[in-house]
Amino acid sequence: MLRFPSGRAKPSLAKALERLPLFTGSAIRVLFRDRLCARRGRLVRRPPGIEVHAAAMLRRRRIYLERSLLRNPLELRRILIHELFHFVWLRLGNALRRRWELLLRDEVLAGARGELGHSAECRKDALERSALRTRSNPWRRYVCESFCDSAAWWFLRPARHQEFTLPRRWRARRARWLARLMERPALPL
């Protein structure tokens, strides 16, 4: 499933992946870097750019993590699971992705505030009114990030985190959806 770097990171990564479901697919390489920055959808070695904790390179089958995460096991787990679920999202299939999108559509139309991670919440907050109706690129990016943040939340429960701001009512709906997904014998990577 994942190819870890050797050294002191390996036990931390193994612990972060405990109790995850079985995955199928080619190996994904996990790499650590100091001070990750992103600019225009690409990782860059130094600013200018936005500092990020991690990035998933889907075509290259790599996950880059900021080295400082090794000092915070809970945050390492949350962010690694989020990045791993980008690969699941890509291979989930249109029908399941559309069902997740409809779940979020219902939330947005009902005026649900908050999210289960910063990456989804900042995208949700930036959506224009027409984004949902037109299924624009910003809407689809939000849907993907929400799926990945929600999967990380699912595996961290009952832990609390300052980024888990979605009200309980909506969390319960997402939990039911994710429970059905996790019943599968294996998830595609």
> What is the per-residue pLDDT for 126?
94
For the chain, residues with pLDDT lower than 50 are none
> What is the per-residue pLDDT for 92?
96
Helix (H, G, I), strand (E, B) or coil at 65: strand
Locate the domains of the chain by residue range: 2-72, 94-184
Count the neighbouring beta carbons within 10 Å of the beta carbon of residue 171.
Answer: 17
Helix (H, G, I), strand (E, B) or coil at 177: helix
pTM > 0.85: yes
Pairing of strands 62-66, 54-57: antiparallel
- Whether cis (ω within 30° of 0) applies to the bond prior to 188 is no
> What is the per-residue pLDDT for 44?
75
| 109-145 pLDDT, tens digit each | 999 999 999 999 999 999 998 998 999 999 999 999 9
Share of the chain above pLDDT 70, in %: 97
> What is the per-residue pLDDT for 175?
98
> What is the per-residue pLDDT for 36?
84
